[in-house]
Structure 1
Amino acid sequence: MKVAFLGLGAIGAPMAAHFSKSHELVVWNRTPERLREFAALHACTAASTPKEAVKGADAVLTCLPASAQVEEILQGDNGMMAGFSPGGILIDCTSGDPDTSRRIAQRLAEVDVAFADSPVSGGVRAAEAGTLTVMVGADARTYERAVPVLQCFASKIEHMGPVGAGHAIKSVNNALFASSVITFAEGMVGLVKDGINAHQAVDVLNNSSGRSRFSEVLVPAQVLSGKFAPSFRLTLMEKDVSIALDFLKQQGVVPLVLQRTGEALRELHNALGDNADFLEIVKYFERQVGVEIRG
């Protein structure tokens, strides 16, 4: 199978690497330097344009920061639309928004190209291990076509509904995650400030009702250890929460906690800058009260 993969970021690169082991792989990235680095490490062909990347591909995957970037590389003389063949399929693993996905799907349908919004969850480690979770929005036939492709880097693949459904649940998932990160940081710095041992507090929390994926997995590995390895930019978390809020409001929901989560992320973004990783949220609250959550 000939696979085109566009977007070699922190998650996209290890996802694409799986295809290089058993398929013909063509890759493209907005940043040429990252493209060259990937091509030097993996068996693949580096394309100079999106059009060149998708030409003749059996399956095309995108993994970009937002749906707007996917829509952008569709267009123009060197865009994906100029390279697609009828009967093709675009599997979009971007953490995108449902409305743009539906617009892209409609446009692709006009040239007989199927579309599945297929955002992933699990982080860099799962991408490297090939154990990501994928939430798919597509019609039944397109989902069936996408599954063998997605199995190259995923261990759990769920058909959530029609186009847009995958991006809807991914945005809500990330909003819930963001809320757990902020509330953990606020609560834990208060406990440590009061003299409670951080390691002990996290252990008790993770055996009680206040635990979360963040507290169980990332806090021991990244916070208590002091590693704070960057994996997901705060700006992208803010973007995902904004998508979730728009989606929820379209459904008639009046969000209270998640609305405040979105506002808090804007404040944190302004304080920490465009390049901050989401783990910097913990350090922000540590500095606020003069303690560190370590142990």
Structure 2
Amino acid sequence: MRIGFIGAGRMGRPMVARLVGAGHDVDVLSRTADKRAAITELGGRSVAEIAEVCAAAEVAVVCVFTDEQVREVCLAGGVVAAMPAGSALVLHTTGSPRTVESIAERATPRGIEVVDAPVSGGPHNAAAGTLTLFVGGADHTLTRVRPVLSCYGDPVLHVGPLGAGQKVKLVNNALFAAHIGLLAEAVRLGAQLGVTESALLSALPHGSASSRVLDIVAAGGSIASFIKTAGEFVGKDLAVVRGIAAELGSDLGVLDDAIDAGATAK
């Protein structure tokens, strides 16, 4: 399959490697010498302009960092305008469901199908083909793009119509951040009882309090070190979900309390 890929950075680069390894022809947006060399080494084709990345793509994949970048690349930057009728657009960046809907409003009349497929996991998961993908979109569109997504995603979870992938991922990240906050409070309680953070993080994964968050934090050695590494990524998504909740006249309830507890662990 001919694939156009935009956003071959920390997360996107191992995705490109998996796509190339599966036999797909991958055109990758890369505008600097270092990035061009990296893409060539992976076996992809380095392309300098968005129009060239998307013009012949059966599937275009966008994996940039922020919601604002998605709008810039897809709307102002010309991804949708450059894609041919009959192609499909996959949006991996976590952001607002309204961004996905606004892109689809522009893409659908041009004969371009859209799915939102935010990812859960890190670069090591992408490299191993074990990212979790929360996919929103039509059944037939997911069937069409599944051979692409399955190169780096397992499981690929269809969670509802267009925009549902973003909604599930935002809830996921709010709960993830709350787990971090609860763990920070547990570490404080341990300190009050005279138990060190390192002792707790070594022992708790073996008890009934074990969780994926606890395992990840324990592997990093401390709450503070984990937040230093992942705080920017989680924080941008929390800003989005809090904004959506505020628009609905609500908030994150007890999740907010737990999230705030984690914020003080920086």
1:48 corresponds to which letter in structure 2?
A
Q: Say which SS state the counterpart of residue 94 (structure 1) adopts.
A: coil
Give the aligned residue type for 2:87. Answer: G
Shift of 1:148: 1.3
More helix by share: 2
CA drift at 1:99: 1.0
Deviation (angstroms), 1:250: 5.6
Any stretches of 5+ residues in structure 1 without a counterpart? 269-280, 285-295
Distance in 1, matches of 2:219 and 2:33, equals 30
Q: Residue 39 of structure 2 corresponds to which residue in structure 1? A: 39
Corresponding residue SS for 2:43? coil
1:18 is paired with a residue whose SS is helix
CA RMSD of aligned residues (A): 2.8
Shift of the alpha carbon at 1:47? 1.2
The residue number in structure 1 matching 2:52 is 52
Q: Secondary structure at the match of 1:221?
A: helix
Q: Which moved more, 1:60-69 or 1:189-198?
A: 189-198
Distance 1:13 1:261, change over 3 A: farther
Deviation per residue, 1:143-186 (Å, 9 max, x gap): 11121110110110111111110000101111111122233234
Partners of 2:260 and 2:187 in 1: CA distance: 21
**Pair 1:244 & 2:245 matched:** no
Q: Does 1:146 align with 2:148?
A: no
**Number of the residue aligned with 1:5:** 5
Instruction: Provide the TM-score with structure 2 as the length reference.
Output: 0.87
Secondary structure (helix, strand or coil) at the match of 2:146 reads: helix
How far does residue 141 in structure 1 lie from its aligned partner after superposition?
1.3
> Do the aligned partners of 2:181 and 2:260 also contact (CA within 8 Å) in 1?
no
Aligned: 1:196 with 2:195: yes
Q: Which amino acid aligns with 2:221?
A: V
2:166 is equivalent to residue 173 of structure 1:
no
Measure the CA separation in 2 of the matches of 1:54 and 1:261. 43
Measured in 1, the distance between the counterparts of 2:87 and 2:195 equals: 58
Paired residues in the alignment total 265
What is the aligned partner in structure 2 of residue 28 from structure 1? 29
Structure-2 residue corresponding to 1:88: 87
Decide which moves more: 201-210 or 103-112. 201-210
Q: How many Å apart are 1:264 and its aligned residue?
A: 6.5
Of the three residues 213, 217, 220, the one matched with 2:218 is 220
Equivalent pairs: percent with the same residue?
30
CA positional deviation for 1:202: 2.6
Change (3 A) 1:239 1:230: closer
Aligned to 1:155: 154
Report if the CA contact (8 A) 1:117-1:163 is conserved. yes
Structure 1 CA distance, aligned partners of 2:111 and 2:44?
27
TM superposition shift of 1:199: 4.5
Matches of 1:227 and 1:264 in 2, distance apart? 16
> Secondary structure at 1:177's aligned position in 2?
helix
Give yes or no for the alignment of 1:16 onto 2:16. yes
Shift of 1:126: 0.8
Does residue 235 of the first structure (1) align with residue 232 of the second (2)? yes
The residue identity in structure 1 corresponding to 2:65 is: P
Q: State the Cα distance separating 1:204 from its structure 2 match.
A: 4.0
CA distance in 2, matches of 1:86, 1:250: 35
Q: Distance in 1 between matches of 2:106 and 2:158?
A: 22
- Aligned pair in 2 of structure 1 residues 229, 47: CA closer, same or farther (>3 Å)? farther
Paired residue type of 1:28: L
Q: Distance in 1 between matches of 2:192 and 2:257?
A: 25
Q: Distance in 2 between matches of 1:161 and 1:74?
A: 22
> Please, which runs of 5 or more residues in structure 2 have no aligned partner?
none
Residue by residue over 1:174-208, the C-alpha shift from the partner in whole angstroms, topping out at 9 and shown as x without a partner, is 11111222332343144246432444423442244
Offset at 1:139?
Answer: 1.2
Which secondary structure does the structure 1 equivalent of 2:132 belong to? strand
Shift of 1:25: 0.9
* Partner residue, 1:275: none
1:185 and 1:210 map into 2 onto residues whose CA distance is: 13
Letter in 2 for 1:185: A
Q: CA deviation at 1:140?
A: 1.4
